[in-house]
Amino acid sequence: MQVTAIDHLHYRSLNPRAAADWWKAAFGASEIGEVMNGDKLRVMIELAGLKLFIEEVAAGTGAPPPAPFLGLEHIGITVKDIEAAVAHVTAKGGKLSKPITSPRPGLRICFIEGPDGSSIELLERA
């Protein structure tokens, strides 16, 4: 079998419209459509070539547990200037959850909490 592409990442949200708007404002994602999946709204956005399908879940749906846990944990996004990116994303409502560090030469990282408790790693590579 040969994989030809990653089609999408499925993202669950209490408010998919607000989550999509945040991804658009914070990271410049573009909206590519929306559909109703039964009685739940799905908003589809594209971020640097990756499609995120943001689908509504019922009120009372539990948040993800604190890391570490099994399964997908976070999305990593490369930026050119990590300080500017942190300032921009936090001004749009993201929360810095782990400060900027340099785990090895040529790499600086931090973590942002986005909508619905999502974890986003920002990476600046030299």
What residues does CATH 3.10.180.10 cover in the chain? 1-58, 73-126
Q: Determine the Cα–Cα distance for residues 87 and 92; give it in Å rounded to an integer.
A: 9
Is residue 107 pLDDT above 90, yes or no?
yes
Q: Share the mean pLDDT of the chain.
A: 95
Q: Which two tokens stand for residue 85?
A: 């990116």
Q: Which CATH architecture has domain 1-58?
A: Roll (3.10)
The CATH class, in words, for 73-126 is: alpha beta
> Does the pLDDT of residue 67 top 90, yes or no?
no
- Mean pLDDT of the 88-96 span: 97
Q: Which residue has the tokens 């590519």?
A: 32
Contact 37, 55 (CB under 8 A): yes
Q: Which residue has the tokens 């039964």?
A: 38
Distance separating alpha carbons of residues 33 and 53, to the nearest angstrom? 9
Proportion of the chain above pLDDT 90, given as a percent: 86
**pLDDT at residue 71 in the model:** 87
Per-residue pLDDT for 97 more than 90?
yes
Average pLDDT over residues 55-74: 89
Residue 50 forms beta bridges with which residues? 47
Q: How far apart are CA 74 and CA 26, in angstroms?
A: 16
